[in-house]
Chain A
Amino acid sequence: MRLSSSKRIRRRGIGGDQILKGLVATAAILIVVLLVALAVELISGASLSLTTFGLPFLYSTTWDPYHDVFGALPFIYGTLVTSALALLIGLPVSLGVAIFLSEKAKGYRLAGYVLGTLVELLAAVPSVIFGLWGLFVLSPNLRTYVEAPLHKYLGFLPIFSANPIGLDYFIAGIILAIMIIPTVSAVSRDVLNAVPNSQREAMYSLGATQWEVIRKSVLPYARSGIFGATILGLGRAVGETMAVTFVIGNSTAISSSLFAQGYTLSALIVNQVGESTSPLNASAIVEIALILFGLALVINIFARLFVVRLTRGARFRA
């Protein structure tokens, strides 16, 4: 039995092909529209603040709802300080983990798999739970065993000068460091895995120790990929909201001490959105969100130049 009794080969109108393509292309367009709408809305919501304060908003340190004067510097500062701290501590640890999983665990596949899984699971812990733990467990312990001694003996240094109460830039930075480890180590590990074995073998055959091989041949080869991983980690740290809110102390003052209370862009938004006292206040908060948006956008796009995908099996342009 023939499927089509006629041998006709003429076309028959609009096909399902066009409909499917149209539908899914619409979904794709929507994603672009979403990002554009996001930018537009933020700019529009911040317009009052933008026109009132102009550029000085970025370097003004006053955040005073009562007098309707606002400036973003304390929060930009806080975001940068905590993120820098996060990278300072998180990057070496992430690299260490990545090196372990990629170079050393090759002989112990099960151990590597289990340990790798444990690190990945860290990424599955919600930020708010990091915050809860940070507040009730990490903060008191760090204050007693790290901050207090540092303040006592090295308090003459500006960064250790404030009296630590366990809610400050420092604790926030530590928490962020922990939170970026899964991201940075996962991407770094993939980058390291992508280094061809011939590189290593060449070094080994010259009589190098394992660490020398890593330092002189693997790491340089993977340099730009690891740089990209770092940028991604920075992006994560900058955007982190809930964990930071629990432990940063929520103070709008700037201080050079790591043990002082502070604020970040994201923490400010979360805490103050429901409490704006005037349209200008609300607009200023949206402008803070706009700054955060811009920062995250730049970091993300920059990271894309070095690492294409965060999911495993990524394609690299390293």
Chain B
Amino acid sequence: MEAPRYPGGQPKFETRGLKAGFGSTWVLKGIDLKIPPNKVTAVMGPSGCGKTTFVRCLNRLHELTPGAMVEGQALLDGEDIYDRNADPVAIRRRTGMVFQKPNPFPTMTIYQNVVAGLTLNGVRDRKVLDHAVEHSLRSAYLWDEVKDKLSDSGASLSGGQQQRLCIARAMAVEPEVLLMDEPCSALDPTATAKIEELVSELKKDYTIIIVTHNLQQASRVADYTAFFYLGKLVEFDETAPLFENPKEELTERYITGKFG
């Protein structure tokens, strides 16, 4: 694989020989990948290629599943998050995650949902919380729709709104990296479009890694794309060149729809 094209400097995330699996099976079989900062990187591939597992390794969520195994390194700003002394909780505060199906906390109001990451970690100052709520909801393009019903239950929103609520919730803790696992797969096209628009806006302040199986979505929002297949990184490049001129045959077959 050739060196990827991106402006020099330290990658936000760099994995070296990252392996991950369950029980006795490895799903990820050694990934060496550099994620550029303040860009949107799409992770793509057919079902079972390990893209979701990869992303869940970046915030150490993978290891929460009983029987999970991880090997190798993942460097966040040069520091290995899998170091023996590393604190998973601190790492997860620097990364935010948005899941496939929106998962607002059902016993909390919209307000409480947004600042959950703050209140659960001891922040009580009402002014700080109010500010965080408005700021995050605005950034998630949700403020105007919910500003008058902040004390409604989080579950009372539509699917697309719930997902934007989850994005706001993730952003309220001001992470540096946003991990998105197929965030639009449960949403209708209108809601999807809104979120894609949001993603393009957000990259100014965040490094975004988005798992997607939707080629068009990747070409719309991603600056860089990584193509995974059966647990290995097949190709990584700027999105446009990757799509127009894939260097690997596997990539080309995936893009032209020959499988997956």
What is the chain B residue whose CB lies nearest that of A7? B77
Q: Are A9 and B174 interface neighbours, CB within 8 A?
A: no
What is the chain A residue whose CB lies nearest that of B117? A3
- Nearest CB of A to B37, in Å: 13
Instruction: Tell me which residues from 1 to 51 in chain A have a Cβ below 8 Å from any Cβ of chain B.
Output: 1-4, 7-12, 15
Q: Are A9 and B90 interface neighbours, CB within 8 A?
A: yes
Which of A1, A8, A9, A15 gathers the greatest number of chain B CB atoms within 10 Å? Answer: A9
Bound-complex Cα distance A10 to B86 (A): 4
Q: Are A12 and B87 interface neighbours, CB within 8 A?
A: yes
Bound-complex Cα distance A101 to B96 (A): 49
Q: Are A1 and B85 interface neighbours, CB within 8 A?
A: no
| Residues on the B chain within 8 Å of A4, using CB | 90, 93
Q: Are B86 and A9 interface neighbours, CB within 8 A?
A: yes
| Residues on the A chain within 8 Å of B79, using CB | 7, 9
Q: Are A3 and B118 interface neighbours, CB within 8 A?
A: yes
Q: Are A9 and B118 interface neighbours, CB within 8 A?
A: no
Contact string against B for A residues 81-93, beta-carbon threshold 8 Å, 1 for contact and 0 otherwise: 0000000000000
Q: Are A2 and B86 interface neighbours, CB within 8 A?
A: no
Instruction: Tell me which residues from 61 to 110 in chain B have a Cβ below 8 Å from any Cβ of chain A.
Output: 76-77, 79, 81, 83, 85-87, 89-91, 93-94
Interface flag for B245 (CB, 8 Å): no
| Residues on the A chain within 8 Å of B121, using CB | 3
Q: Are A9 and B81 interface neighbours, CB within 8 A?
A: yes
| Residues on the A chain within 8 Å of B83, using CB | 9
Q: Are B85 and A10 interface neighbours, CB within 8 A?
A: yes
Q: Are B174 and A1 interface neighbours, CB within 8 A?
A: yes
Give the number of residues in B that approach A within 8 Å (Cβ atoms): 19
Contact string against B for A residues 185-210, beta-carbon threshold 8 Å, 1 for contact and 0 otherwise: 00000000000000000000000000
- Nearest CB of A to B122, in Å: 10
Which of B90, B93, B118 gathers the greatest number of chain A CB atoms within 10 Å? Answer: B90
Q: Are B87 and A3 interface neighbours, CB within 8 A?
A: no
Q: Are A9 and B91 interface neighbours, CB within 8 A?
A: yes
What is the chain A residue whose CB lies nearest that of B128? A1
Bound-complex Cα distance A11 to B85 (A): 5
Bound-complex Cα distance A8 to B86 (A): 9
What is the chain B residue whose CB lies nearest that of A12? B87
- Nearest CB of A to B10, in Å: 13
Bound-complex Cα distance A1 to B83 (A): 27
Bound-complex Cα distance A4 to B117 (A): 13
What is the chain A residue whose CB lies nearest that of B83? A9
What is the chain B residue whose CB lies nearest that of A2? B174
Which of B77, B87, B93, B118 gathers the greatest number of chain A CB atoms within 10 Å? Answer: B87
Beyond A2-B174, A3-B118, is A10–B87 a contact (Cβ under 8 Å)?
yes
Interface flag for B209 (CB, 8 Å): no
What is the chain A residue whose CB lies nearest that of B173? A3
| Residues on the A chain within 8 Å of B173, using CB | 3
| Residues on the B chain within 8 Å of A1, using CB | 128, 174
Q: Are A9 and B128 interface neighbours, CB within 8 A?
A: no
What is the chain A residue whose CB lies nearest that of B121? A3
Beyond A1-B128, A1-B174, A2-B174, is A7–B94 a contact (Cβ under 8 Å)?
yes
| Residues on the A chain within 8 Å of B86, using CB | 9-11
Instruction: Tell me which residues from 136 to 193 in chain B have a Cβ below 8 Å from any Cβ of chain A.
Output: 173-174
| Residues on the B chain within 8 Å of A10, using CB | 85-87, 90
- Nearest CB of B to A265, in Å: 43
| Residues on the A chain within 8 Å of B89, using CB | 15
| Residues on the B chain within 8 Å of A11, using CB | 85-87
Which of B81, B91, B94, B128 gathers the greatest number of chain A CB atoms within 10 Å? Answer: B94
- Nearest CB of B to A64, in Å: 59
Bound-complex Cα distance A3 to B132 (A): 12
| Residues on the A chain within 8 Å of B85, using CB | 10-11
Q: Are A3 and B174 interface neighbours, CB within 8 A?
A: yes
| Residues on the B chain within 8 Å of A12, using CB | 87
| Residues on the B chain within 8 Å of A9, using CB | 76, 79, 81, 83, 86-87, 90-91, 94
- Nearest CB of A to B146, in Å: 23
Binding site for A on B (CB under 8 A): 76-77, 79, 81, 83, 85-87, 89-91, 93-94, 118, 121, 123, 128, 173-174
Give 21 pairs: A residue, B residue, CB < 8 Å, sorted on A: A1-B174, A2-B174, A3-B118, A3-B121, A3-B174, A4-B93, A7-B77, A7-B79, A7-B94, A9-B79, A9-B81, A9-B83, A9-B87, A9-B91, A10-B85, A10-B86, A10-B90, A11-B86, A11-B87, A12-B87, A15-B89
Binding site for B on A (CB under 8 A): 1-4, 7-12, 15
7 shortest interchain CB distances as A-B pairs: A11-B87, A9-B90, A9-B86, A10-B85, A11-B85, A9-B91, A2-B174
